[in-house]
Structure 1
């Protein structure tokens, strides 16, 4: 088996069309950008006055407020504000770097994808678990609709980022296993 460095994509060596997994990654990143730079940015800007806004995004947050009223400007808004601020202003820069790495076949793509996917999966799980462990204090009425509207809109971020982390981990594990199979002293035949 060739050494690890020989199996990593070489920048600019191939302008082949991205594979199906890369297209799924890019589609999920595009989905994340669109929502972060529209709906989530709207929340960050209007988190304190969202109840007074007359906009379709404010209406969407009013609906989501049945699951978590802090997103509709009531209760403890600091935690969702902190999560969304990081997502809008930090994560999207990392997502842009990841998209660049996918398109240009950069060797640092999979470590970055693992890091971004893992930390975003963690942030969604933390948000959901925090609400559950506290007894859903920001859910005005604990009924089927409240639980549905709380969990369902979060599933794309949970599942999408879990997929990003898992596929990067699988690729890195495969590369590492191949590197371990090379006998000592035989890493570079040149």
Structure 2
């Protein structure tokens, strides 16, 4: 996230200021890659929420119902009253003048969530701490892909009870991706 008057920010576990509280679960641990079409698929469920008392932003593993750690409210003063925008997806970063890395399992999304990377059961938490689906007159959903030759996504909107609001994303990366 980019924040502050100097537009400083980061997007991974190397972000300064994250306070790890769990001894059992950590941030930034790579998942063993699943193979396309394999019967074994890895999934991890997380939520980020603001503690209404402290103002800190917590990362929680919802599979095991355990907090992993938090970003202190002092790091994100512009989010003191909550967020006005939320973003889900993938981000690939390569080295200058080199091929960009793959995203997800390296394949373009084909519409079958078992074949690639996906985000499912997308929810938001309102000011009253009520968990809601992201649709209706107050919510605007947008897709952003900066290079469809290298990466793409397929937005499925609401896709039944198991998947909820979901989308699939990924791609092979490569040269001329602009990263």
TM-score tier, shorter chain, comes to under 0.3
Q: Which has the higher contact order (CA 8 A, sep 6+)?
A: 1
- Tell me the TM-score normalized by structure 1: 0.22
Q: Tell me which protein shows more helix as a share of its residues.
A: 1
Q: Which has the larger radius of gyration?
A: 1
- Tell me the TM-score normalized by structure 2: 0.23
